[in-house]
Amino acid sequence: MARLIELLEHGQSPWLDFISRDLLESGGFRDLVEEGIRGATSNPTIFYKAVSSTDAYDQDIRDLLEADPQVSAPTIYDWITIEDVRRAADVLRPVYENSKGDDGYVSLEVSPYLAYDTEDTIEAARHLWTEVDRPNLMIKVPATEAGIPAIEQLIAEGINVNATLLFSVQRYEEVARAYIRGVARQSEPRKVASVASFFVSRVDTKVDALLDEIATPEAQALKAKTAIANAKMAYRRFKAIFHGEDFAPQRRRNARVQRPLWASTGTKNPAYSDVLYVENLIGPETVTTLPMETLDAFLAHGEALPTLEMKLEEAELQLKELARLGIDLDRVTEELEREGVQAFKDSYDQLIELINRKRFEVTRI
């Protein structure tokens, strides 16, 4: 696990992009935390994988049905996800306390069906915050246009927020400024924390397909480059905003910066390095989230070097060349945001369907 320590030495916190009852009950999650994992994230896709791959949740479902045979599948979903997040938060509590609230967080997402509804997102986040009842919880809020005011309001109320499904630098900046506005309304700004989850590999998946359609040598040379370049431009905006005059008044109030979090770091294209999106985005005041497979790969053969601010001019030129070839990155990221929301809706629906099947299996009805 020395490589995780090396990430920390470069100012980056490694978080596990996975939670499951098996991992929690086996002690595997505790082992990872002791070896350097500093947080955890979840989403409907992660919980679907967790519930579909094990019978570890069957007893909980059986107990809920015995207490109330009419209990709905969404209520069961809420209960089992809240329980997993509570357990993970408790394991991470020493990290949270030892880091004075900089790390040790677990993220739990509001329903993806609320992604375009500001007020219902706020209410759902308040509900989850109250039910989990752990100071090291982060509520994941999709950073859609409707999510921006929700992020501001929740931060103002002292609720930790993981602003998720960020693909564009423009949307990243909107989230950063929403955080600053929320912190400015918070009487004790040090008590609230936030990250901005900027998605990586999905950008290359979509852009590389467009480059393949162009099929020129210039286009092929840009494959596997856009996502990293895009993230580096977001990090440059992070530094300008949070280390400039925009955040200076809140810094004087001892507010925390809203760290960029690199999400979707698992490599989708098997032709690329399985640690491509980890190795190339290492830098201070950031978080990298690691799916289990990516964590294993990084521990096996990854390199921890301070790469995030290397080759910035090259990254700029790559994005300019992309535009010259006729690929509109703004349009791509807008599509990715919509597709990301839909993907989480699909996973949520699959999980609800799975729970409905399990309710009959565990009760033999």
Residue 140 annotated to the active site: yes
**Cross-strand pairs, 55:** none
DSSP calls for 129-192: HHHH--TTEEEEEE-STTHHHHHHHHHHTT--EEEEEE-SHHHHHHHHHHHHHHHHT-SSGGG-
Catalytic residue among 140, 206, 225, 358: 140
Geometric angle at alpha carbon 22, from 352 and 139, rounded to 5°? 55
CA diameter of the chain:
64
- Round to whole Å and give the CA distance between 128 and 364: 31
* H-assigned helices in the chain: 2-9, 21-25, 28-34, 44-52, 58-67, 73-98, 118-132, 147-156, 169-184, 201-214, 217-220, 226-242, 248-252, 276-279, 292-301, 312-324, 329-363
**Spatial distance between the Cα atoms of 211 and 214, rounded to a whole number of angstroms:** 5
What Rg, from alpha-carbon coordinates, does the chain have?
A: 20
Question: Which residues carry out catalysis?
Answer: 140
